[in-house]
Amino acid sequence: MSKKIILIGNTSSTMLGFRSDLIKELVRNHCKIYAFVCEYSEEHLENIRQLGAIPIVYKMNRGGLNPFADLKTVFELKKYIIQIKPDIVFSYFTKPVVYGSLAAKISKVSKIIGMIEGLGTPFTVHKHGQSLKVKLIRFIQVRLYKMVFPFLDKIIFLNPDDPIDLIQDNHIKIKKNAIEMLGPIGLNLAEYHYQRWDETQNLSFIFIARLLAEKGIFEYLEAAKIVKQKYPNVTFKIIGGLDHENPYGLTQEQLDEVVATGVVEYPGFVTDVAKRIQDSAVFVLPSYYREGVPRSTQEAMAIGRPVITTDVPGCRETVVNGVNGFLVPKWDPQALAEKMCYFIENPEFINIMGSESYKIAQENFDVSKVNKKLLEIMGLEGTNEKTC
């Protein structure tokens, strides 16, 4: 008899972007999959159906702090879970892990799994500290985890720092052997083709992320200005969207100003990210956000690009310092500029380190290997009809 598995996420875009390969693997294993999303488009719902899953829409305010609205979410999820009678409820992202797992517990689901893909904004400390609002959100979030984590059968993390900073430091009780270390979520490597950097091209650096302080955009811009003074022909590229709601984001005015000076190139919204990476020499992400393991860095490494990133949780999982790139301290544009200059002055290391990035990606970022491990964590070992 087919096992029923509920995946609880937030947006349909992240369900498709990050869970498509897992859904396809579970369907191949003859499982019946229900994909829960709270923000969606009809096109995305149809794409989820084409993967072989059944999309379920529920109501949840991802950024809201209204406990009554969140309670309604729990009871709505409970209603669906009782109707479906799943064998496993697998939730990811903070609110789905808390409220999806709580609904699953109330509904007496036999196996409940939560995946923490980075600790996010509440655990991200800016150069000048955290705002009172963020500190409050962190306090509430930890209390919710303390309520939910004790009954989770498995709690999956992507890097080794997160369980220490979340569970150990906050004295959160968990089941014995509940913690599982997955590593990067991974990529369909067939979509990212290795390509050597053409050393006859003008050397360029590329930053790919939301244009937020915690992603390192300001350090990237400062480093670019420093390098440009010494090497004016070097190109600096930015791929990513503005976030007008985030108080720590780059503003449109700041972006327009820096583009007008010629320090960086900003093409706006693009869909050919892999091609943009191939057309750049070195990938740079000076993030201090509490990442799981940054996807953009994985993409750049799969294509064969060296990486300069920060020595912080999540980011440090992608670079062997001096082998496939460099780790620099957070909030340090001068150190970042120095490593950029290293590649300018030693261009032969672009392809040498890029080749090492490619090897690491093949070994650690293959989504088929990651999904095999996820199936084992879920208790669905094997790849034949008997699995589900």
pLDDT of residue 244: 82
Q: Is residue 383 part of a domain?
A: no
Q: How far apart are CA 311 and CA 246, in angstroms?
A: 24
DSSP secondary structure code for residue 309 in this structure: E
Whether residues 213 and 172 fall in one domain: no
Tokens of 229: 């003074």
Tokens of 386: 């008997």
Whether residues 372 and 360 fall in one domain: no
pLDDT of residue 248: 87
Whether residues 182 and 81 fall in one domain: yes
Q: How far apart are CA 295 and CA 285, in angstroms?
A: 11
Distances (CA, A) of 7 to 89, 200, 286: 6, 48, 32
Q: Is residue 147 part of a domain?
A: yes
Rg (CA), the chain: 22
CATH number at residue 83: 3.40.50.2000
SS3 240: coil
Whether residues 56 and 179 fall in one domain: yes
Confirm if 340 and 333 have CB atoms less than 8 A apart. no
Reported for 216-221, long-range contacts at CB under 8 A and 24+ positions apart, including other chains, are 216/285, 216/286, 216/287, 216/288, 216/310, 216/330, 217/250, 218/250, 218/333, 219/286, 219/330, 219/331, 219/332, 219/333, 219/336, 220/284, 220/286, 220/333, 220/336, 221/258, 221/263, 221/264
Q: Tell me the per-residue pLDDT of 254-270, one tens digit each, with 9 for 90 and over.
A: 999 999 999 999 998 89
pLDDT of residue 385: 47
Whether residues 160 and 196 fall in one domain: no
> 11: closest CA among 51, 57, 49?
57
| Domains contained in the chain, number | 2
Whether residues 198 and 171 fall in one domain: no
Residue 342 burial (CB < 10 Å; 0-12/13-18/19+)? middle
Q: Is residue 178 part of a domain?
A: yes
Phi/psi of residue 149, each to 5°? -55, -35
Whether residues 84 and 222 fall in one domain: no
Q: Is residue 384 part of a domain?
A: no
Q: Tell me the per-residue pLDDT of 173-212, one tens digit each, with 9 for 90 and over.
A: 999 999 999 999 999 999 999 999 998 999 999 999 999 9
Q: Is residue 323 part of a domain?
A: yes
Whether residues 209 and 89 fall in one domain: no
pLDDT of residue 387: 54
Q: Is residue 8 part of a domain?
A: yes
Tokens of 151: 């009954």
Which residue's entry shows tokens 């350090």? 219
The dihedral through the CA atoms of 314, 316, 320, 322 has a sign that is: positive
Q: Is residue 382 part of a domain?
A: no
β-sheet bridge partners, residue 55: 35
pLDDT of residue 73: 95
Query: What count of other Cβ atoms lies within 10 Å of the Cβ of residue 112?
Result: 25
Q: Is residue 385 part of a domain?
A: no
Q: How far apart are CA 298 and CA 319, in angstroms?
A: 10
> Residue 146's domain spans which residues?
4-186+366-377
| Composition of the chain by helix, strand, coil, percent to 5 | 45, 15, 40
Whether residues 182 and 226 fall in one domain: no
**H-only helix segments in 1-131:** 12-28, 42-51, 67-84, 94-95, 101-106
Tens place of pLDDT for every residue, the chain, 388 residues?
A: 689 999 999 999 999 999 999 999 999 999 999 999 999 999 999 999 999 999 999 999 887 777 788 999 999 999 999 999 999 999 999 999 999 999 999 999 999 999 999 999 999 999 889 999 999 999 999 999 999 999 999 999 999 999 999 999 999 999 999 999 999 999 999 999 999 999 899 999 999 999 999 999 999 999 999 999 999 999 999 999 998 878 889 999 999 999 999 999 999 889 899 999 999 999 999 999 999 999 999 999 999 999 999 999 999 999 999 999 999 999 999 999 999 999 999 999 999 999 999 999 999 999 999 999 999 999 997 544 455 6
Q: How far apart are CA 327 and CA 325, in angstroms?
A: 7
Whether residues 150 and 86 fall in one domain: yes
Whether residues 273 and 249 fall in one domain: yes
For the entire predicted model, the pTM comes to 0.92
Q: Tell me the per-residue pLDDT of 26-68, one tens digit each, with 9 for 90 and over.
A: 999 999 999 999 999 999 999 999 999 999 999 998 877 777 8
Whether residues 29 and 60 fall in one domain: yes
